[in-house]
Amino acid sequence: MHPLVKQLEGIFLAHLDRLAIELRQQYPGLTFTIWSTPTGTLTDYQGHDLGIECIFKRDSKTHAENVALMVEMCHLTSAPRLMGEVVWSQGSDHSDTSWREWRLMNEWPVASQEAVSDLESTFPELISAYRKAVAQGASKC
């Protein structure tokens, strides 16, 4: 496992576990899942994502089916980069908030110790945005 993955899991997974426990109590009808998994293993991307996802149970196709708070890493075999954001399910074309502004993955911050520390210090803002997104999605169930 890449050292950056180990470092970010050490920083963020405990926060995500506590958040899932709180949100499961607050929204017992919703499903919350924590994950940490490699991505892009068959490409040059070579990344890793960790996060929490909320699945909304609804019949309507007019609303997003899920929302996630993610810490993403890419280019782990070359020049690692990272991002943190709250995103809605594919097809909804909606991102609540990002740790940094970006359009392309190559614009993500290089995973320096300074960037990791900055993401860690602003992570409570992402948690707050995720809580608001979950409340918004739950109100449409």
Query: pLDDT of 28-86, one tens digit each?
Result: 999 999 999 999 877 777 899 999 999 987 655 656 688 999 999 999 999 999 999 99
Higher pLDDT pick, 103 / 130? 130
- For all residues of the chain together, what is the average pLDDT? 88
Query: pLDDT of 51-62, one tens digit each?
Result: 999 998 765 565
pLDDT at 19 over 90: yes
* 49: number of Cβ within 10 Å: 19
Tokens matching residue 116: 């990791």
Three-state secondary structure call for residue 32: strand
What CA–CA distance (Å, rounded) separates 66 from 87? 9
Q: Domain locations in the chain?
A: 3-138
Please, what is the end-to-end C-alpha distance for the chain in angstroms? 39
